Amino acid sequence: MRKVAPYLWPDSAPWVKKRVVLAMIALVAAKVVSVCVPFIYKAAVDGLTGESRGDGLLLAVGAIGLVVAYGLARLGSVAFGELRDAIFVRVGQRALRALALETFQHIHALSLRYHITRKTGALSRIIERGVKGVDFLLRFMLFSIGPLALELALVSVIFALAFSIWYALVVVVTIALYVTFTFKVTEWRVKLRKQMNDQDADANQKAIDSLLNYETVKYFAAEGRETSRYDAAMAGYESAAVRTGQSLALLNAGQSLIITCGLVIVMAMAARGVQAGTLTVGDFVMVNAYMIQITMPLGFLGTVYREIRQALVDMGEMFDLLRQPAEVTDRPGAPALAVAGGAITLRGVKFGYDPARPILKGIDLEVGAGQTVAIVGPSGSGKSTIGRLLFRFYDVTAGSIAIDGQDLRAVTQASLHDAIGVVPQDTVLFNDTIYYNIAYGRGGATRDEVEAAAKAAKIHDFILGLPEGYETRVGERGLKLSGGEKQRVGIARTLLKNPPILLLDEATSALDTQTEADIQAELEAMGQGRTVITIAHRLSTVANADRIVVLEAGTIVEEGTHERLLAEGGRYAAMWARQSAEVDEAA
């Protein structure tokens, strides 16, 4: 609640504070009017039974007037409650929106290390359940539990003042026993409910698993075994469901017993007062009305308590997510990166995803402005890690990476990301139109600029050949397009961004040989006038690079042009010979 409170009472939005105050006034008004209803009811009954004893209210409006006043008071109680909800709804929804936005922004600020290990489905559920939990807690804590506590306090005071302290004591003891019993049994029921849900999930999993393996079941004539396995899981669910149902019956019976005992005791006390002549029939009716009025909302207490516990768990998960520290952050007052030529310098770079297992072991590399440098090597040598460090998905463990003499850790991440265009091995697209995906390269790009980028990536004609053209939707992660088409959309997107530095991270390794050859020319044209780092597995794609760097086990073992490295007959020459042999064998 301390985490949520600032969203309900923000210093930056005075209108929110005004609405909260007005909603609280309406809430108190609703409860004050609500506790006045039995008083009016009592006066009307006394007037009709002739036991008014000079009641001023009866003399002023008469019995019929009191009946009308009774109706108006009941209506007023509901009206104030609805007014409270109408006033507060904007405050609550603003708080939910702000919380959801903060969580969303925070997730984007977390490092790649976190996003590699996260489960996207679970993450979205944490946000969804957390926001719903806040909504539930706001509504029930402020508009159910809070008003109920206020009403119980008012009724106890009225009983103590209008009758005697013993009436108030019976009410307080009854409510205390009711709440204690409800909470204890609900805690027990939560465990039973969890067991039931676990059994349900187990049975459901077995059913789906069996149906997905339908052919295997048939191959081994295992229908009987599958049926027995499913029935055993359902038997567990049945047993848990029976215990859950029985526990609910126990809860309802216990609640009714406690409330009824309290009601009977208070009513018996009032009946004795009527017989003794110290109370009127109207007093007896008023006591009954108050007891019924406070017991009705108590009936939902078990459900509300269970939901509040779940809401607190869901909120806890969301706030745990918000407490996750961002591994890579901007220094206070960091300037934007100023790219003059795009020269890249790596000095003694060391890095490991796990401190116990270093990946890069002291890399020194110079990439001149406008140069194309290829980084090659076996899997696990650290090629892609250099690309991730350059984009500052991670910070180096030791050493430094600089662009035009500016350490990447000393400039803002946003300006660094603006300066580097990346074409990854597998271009992932948004589930939207082709136009949207290309235009994503630069916010505010015009239609002509988008189409010019598509033409440069040699995909414009293909798009025009589609029934819906640029408005064609590409499906989840772009799965409606082939690998080559997705890569061309990715190239067009990066061309539209028009960055001074280009990082090609195995941009064609997932493609077939023909598609790779088609796209390679576009990638080379894309690199003209830019500083390019190409991370490659297939050496044929980097033969034209200004310089080739051979990486092995986190260190640079060779460096030079394609011709020079072949002439030296070292690691690169061996890799080239091996890949050439594989191509010949495939042919």
Give which of 523, 43, 582, 468 is closest to 282, Cα–Cα: 43
Give which of 586, 551, 553, 555 is closest to 572, Cα–Cα: 551
User: Tell me, what DSSP letter sits at residue 143?
Assistant: I
User: Tell me, what DSSP letter sits at residue 357?
Assistant: B
Cα dihedral 280, 281, 285, 290, rounded to 10, equals 10
Q: Which CATH architecture has domain 344-429+498-586?
A: 3-Layer(aba) Sandwich (3.40)
User: Tell me, what DSSP letter sits at residue 580?
Assistant: H
d(CA 584, CA 164): 103
d(CA 503, CA 372): 10
d(CA 524, CA 537): 16
Give residue 515's pLDDT.
67
Give residue 526's pLDDT.
78
What are 39's two structure tokens? 């008083």
User: Tell me, what DSSP letter sits at residue 390?
Assistant: H
Give residue 54's pLDDT.
47
Give the dihedral sign, CA 83/84/89/91.
positive
pLDDT in tens, the chain (587 residues): 777 777 778 888 888 888 888 988 888 888 888 888 887 877 777 777 766 554 555 555 666 777 788 888 888 888 988 898 888 888 888 888 888 888 888 888 777 777 766 555 556 767 777 777 777 777 776 667 777 777 788 888 888 887 888 888 888 898 889 888 888 888 888 788 778 877 887 888 888 888 888 888 888 888 899 899 889 989 988 988 898 888 888 888 888 888 888 888 988 888 888 888 888 888 888 888 888 877 777 767 767 777 777 777 778 878 888 887 877 888 898 999 998 888 999 999 999 888 788 888 888 999 988 889 999 988 888 888 898 899 888 889 899 999 998 999 999 998 998 999 888 877 888 888 899 999 988 888 899 999 998 888 888 888 888 888 889 888 776 777 887 788 888 888 888 888 999 898 877 765 666 666 767 777 777 788 889 998 887 787 788 888 999 998 889 898 899 899 899 888 889 888 887 776 667 66
What are 456's two structure tokens? 């440069």
**226 contacts: CB under 8 Å, gap ≥ 6:** 210, 217
DSSP 211-254: HHTHHHHHHTT-HHHHHHHHHHHHHHHHHHHHHHHHHHHHHHHH
d(CA 343, CA 371): 8
Q: What are phi and psi of 345, to 5 degrees?
A: -130, 125
Burial label, 289 (beta-carbon count in 10 A; 0-12, 13-18, 19+):
middle
Q: Cβ distance 492 to 459 under 8 Å? A: yes
Alpha helix stretches (DSSP H) within 2-13: 5-8
